[in-house]
Structure 1
Amino acid sequence: MASNGQYRSWGLPPKAGPQRILQMQWQGDSLPESGRPYLAFGNGRSYGDSCLNGQGTLVNLRGLDRFISFDGDTGVLRCEAGVLLSDILTHFVPRGWFLPVTPGTRYVTVGGAIANDVHGKNHHRAGSFGHHVRSLELLRSDGSRLVCSPQENPEWLSATIGGCGLTGVILWAEIGLKRIPGHAVEVESVRFSGIDEFLDLSRTSHNSHEYTVAWIDSLNPGPGGLRGVFHRGNHVEAGRRVTPPRTKPGLPFTPPVSLLPRAAVAAFNAAIYHLPRPSKRVVHHEPFFYPLDAVPNWNRLFGRKGFFQYQCVIPYEAAPEAVGELIARAAAARQGSFLSVLKVFGDHQPSGLLSFPRPGVTLALDFPNRGKPTLDLLDTLDEITLAAGGAVYPAKDARMPAETFTRGFPAWRQFEKYLDGGIMSDFWRRVAASSAGAVHA
């Protein structure tokens, strides 16, 4: 093990690096007694501190990057936890298979996708990633191993899905892939104004389109208090060749200040909203699912202080009023959200005890870290979210107080009994460990 302070999360929060790094290369590797507390680390694409462990050892799982088996009839893939979603796509899309659920970046490990129970543009049809996990193996810090599935140790499977890596180290998992006709996606884009129009588009698209998502202009809400572009799509067999986007040059370094001033972002957002575009087009799947992946290290645009992403989910009945208030407060604070996304979660019940996706409307906003003004705004957004009966996404969080977490995830007390006493994260120290009086080595 060696000291390494370079392990950071995607939001570039000003957090201390881990005291040690342990590289795991084989499923048979164990966790030595001297490194506690541990925390599994995938590819660092969580935005906050759920993947950080400043007072212990990070267990780097990228060495567990092997496919184990694949059933070509059922689409069930068994692979190690350090496999990236991009690895799966590269190998299986040409064979007519796709991920059942995918987040907005393909550079996430399978273990990380499970630990954060990631969601995508098709939650209304397919649920979250956790709904498609058939089984997994969990390594506990005491050396014990558990195979978890709906039939074997199902309570441990429920605790591990969305459990932020706190129940143990995921070694491998089985997930069910889905058949697709080809690389292409037919996308329809519709401008809208107002939350009611967004909700109506979501309802009418539920059965006809597998994927739905809306980009919103949070800095120029318009007369309806909300304006944006609603995108809906389906996999299709392309009638012509579709090519992935060229990777754009990324920033080779992190600038001292944000390169996204509010005025520039507001002008950019207005241009995007008014951009002429065909109502329907056929594109390669990559620009539809992973537009930001085309810009390496785009997170560096926010400067050395990093940024906060605020993602919350609001129950359906409270969404029209609460979402409007969230956007209005963000716009009034003049903080500037570079990327603002709005979508509907379906009626699937959460697959894990601490799963974030649940029936409702989810809003994601990005804010450059400007210190106290930004933190004050995020506290205000918490108040609106909690008053509406909502929750904030742990995988995107770097600052929510304990009350925001415990009210948003009331099953956290039940989850406690599945905690591994030799595993800890900066996130859990902040939101629950002190409240629970937990003692970790």
Structure 2
Amino acid sequence: MIKPVKKQMAGWGNFPKHTGFVYQPETVQDIQAILDDNDSSQIAYGLGRSYGDNALNENNGMLVLDHLNHMLAFDADTGLLTCEAGVSLSEIIDVFLPRGFFPPVTPGTKLVTVGGAIANDVHGKNHHTDGTFSEFVSSFDLLLASGQVMTCSRDENADVFWATVGGIGLTGIIVRATIQLMRVETSQIKATYEKADNLDEAFNRFQENDANYKYSVAWIDCLSTGDALGRSVLMRGDHAERSDLDKGVRDPLALPKKPGLKVPMNAPSFALNYWSISAFNQLYYKSYKNESKLVDLTSFFHPLDAIGDWNKLYGKNGFVQYQAVFPKDNAPKEGIRQLLQKLSSEKRSSFLAVLKSSGKANDGLLSFPMEGYTLALDIPIKRGLFSFLKELDDIVVSFGGRVYLAKDSTLDIETFHKMYPNWEEFMAVKQRLDPEGRFSSSMSRRLGLG
């Protein structure tokens, strides 16, 4: 029997911090034994890159699954990979990029597990063209509260498949999956950088040009005001072909260099304030020019992975990442404008403010994206933040949008119900699979999901 360690845990935002009983199983049989030998609830915990409390389980069990990271089968003809759920996107890239394959969807960090990518139905810079991670999941095996392992796909146990996709770990433990990788010719991106003077100009350029690029995102200066509100740097791109590289390049699929920087300790809380972040935003905006160039995959997709433990820059109090999506048919630009005006007027600073276009929603009952636009913000935890976030929630609801559960730590039950109208259908599936509530988390209890 694996003995747990009582430990304080947190997500990537270092808020909240909850103490529970941490297990580190190495096999599916280990997880089954843990479920059999105690009555506490459990939740899967991958690499800790969810920001809030969806992988925390105060006073209960957390199953750290990074040891379930074996690759089981790969078909080079089809690009289908079968692996355990603890395999990370980083490991997939390290093994398969030199062979000419790459994950078809990747979020802003490659340090996430396949199980976590499914449970949070992650999306990337290509959602407007390709959808979420689940679009490329052929099937997965789900360990239920009963100890049974159920295979789920769009054709087999489809209701469980769509409850688990985006279901934040509450239907069971994903133990293995078969996913589709995409072929690439190089490890480079043909990237185009374009500055926009304000939010109107940024939206115009998204609408005019997004269809021409596989990947599209914009960094926004969330502290700009007046005519410059929402000034941006748009970053679009496509995978480079071999013919795009210099003839002298020996290995077009060479892995990008590993980063060496690491934040050694929590920054002092006074270091991040309106003035310091405003100055950073000014310099960041000015550092870009309108140009096209080749950049490596890590620089384009995962720039923050180049700095180890970068979350410590926000200090010991931590931060929240607030990501909301506004539907296309309900004035998304105005909704985002109101969020930016609120941030600017209250001097709530954010290093990272990212605008993306979002494609059509899928059938995931708790999946986040819908057709429209998303805005993601990193906000340091300071006095009055939580009442401020409630005001942001009210703006999002008024435009028919929703907040991403992978990054939330403050939603209340009533607001959650408004944002996720399929919650009752989700609960019907969960209660059928898990009548005793063996899979639960701090988030699920906060939102009334278990």
Q: What is the TM-score of this pair, normalised by structure 2? A: 0.92
Query: Deviation string for 1:28-63 (max 9, x for gaps)?
Result: 331234152010111110000001001210011111
Distance of 1:244 and 1:333 partners within structure 2: 40
Residue 234 of structure 1 aligns to which amino acid in structure 2?
Answer: D
Secondary structure at 2:106's aligned position in 1? coil
CA distance in 1, matches of 2:290, 2:399: 37
SS, match of residue 82 in structure 1: coil
Distance 2:269 2:283 in 1: 24
Structure 1 ranges of 4+ moved more than 6 A: none
Structure 1 residues 35 and 106: alpha-carbon distance in aligned structure 2, compared to 1, 3 A threshold = farther
SS in 2 for 1:207: helix
1:234 is displaced (CA, Å) by 0.4
Q: Which of 91, 110, 127 is residue 123 of structure 1 equivalent to?
A: 127
CA RMSD of aligned residues (A): 1.6
Residue in structure 1 matched with residue 233 of structure 2 by the alignment: 229
Query: Can you list the C-alpha shifts for 1:190-210, whole angstroms capped at 9, x where unaligned?
Result: 111333322222223233210
Quick one: which of 392, 399, 405 aligns to 2:410?
399
Q: Distance in 2 between matches of 1:88 and 1:23?
A: 22
C-alpha separation between the residues in 2 aligned to 1:52 and 1:40? 9
Partner Cα separation in structure 2 for residue 323 and residue 73 of structure 1: 44
Give per-residue Cα distances to partners, 1:279-337, cap 9 Å, x unaligned: 10101110000000001001011111100111000011321211101000011111211
Q: 1:361 maps to which residue?
A: 373
Structure 1 residue aligned with 2:386: 375
Match of 2:440 among 409, 421, 424: 424
Corresponding residue to 2:352 among 339, 362, 383 = 339
Task: Give 1:257 shift.
Answer: 2.1
Match of 2:335 among 322, 327, 334: 322
Superposition map of 1:22-101 within 5 A: 22-29=23-30, 30=32, 31-101=35-105
Counting only pairs closer than 5 Å after superposition, residues 7-406 of structure 1 correspond to structure 2 as 7-18=9-20, 20-29=21-30, 30=32, 31-237=35-241, 238-240=244-246, 241=249, 244=256, 247-257=259-269, 259-277=271-289, 279-316=291-328, 317-346=330-359, 348-371=360-383, 373-406=384-417
Which amino acid letter does the alignment assign opposite residue 338 of structure 1? F
Distance in 1 of aligned mates of 2:84 and 2:380: 35
Deviation digits for residues 218-246 of structure 1, max 9, x if unmatched? 01245142211011000003513587366
Whichever residue aligns with residue 370 of structure 1, its letter is K
Per the alignment, do residues 221 and 131 of structure 1 end up closer, same or farther by CA in structure 2, a change over 3 Å counting? farther
Distance 1:219 1:245, change over 3 A: farther
Contact map agreement 1:330 1:377 (CA 8 A) in 2: no
Give the drift of 1:375. Answer: 1.1
> How far did residue 349 of structure 1 move?
2.4
Preserved CA contact (<8 Å) 2:16 2:53: no
- Which SS does the other structure have where 2:53 is aligned? coil
DSSP-derived class of the 1:234 partner = strand
Distance 1:221 1:5 in 2: 44
Shift of 1:392: 0.5
Whether the 8 Å contact between 1:37 and 1:423 is mirrored in structure 2 is: yes
Shift of 1:274: 1.4
Aligned residues: 431
- Distance in 1, Cα, partners of 2:223 & 2:28: 48
Q: Alignment partner of 1:32: what SS?
A: helix
SS of 1:170's partner is strand
* Alignment gaps of 5+ in structure 2: none
CA contact (8 A) 1:128 1:351 kept: no
Other structure's SS at 2:27 match: coil
Tell me if the contact between 2:98 and 2:255 (Cα under 8 Å) persists in the aligned partners.
Answer: no
Structure 1 distance, partners of 2:39, 2:86, is: 20
1:12 aligned partner, one-letter code: N
Q: Which runs of 5+ in 1 are unaligned?
A: none
Between the aligned residues of both structures, percent identity stands at 40
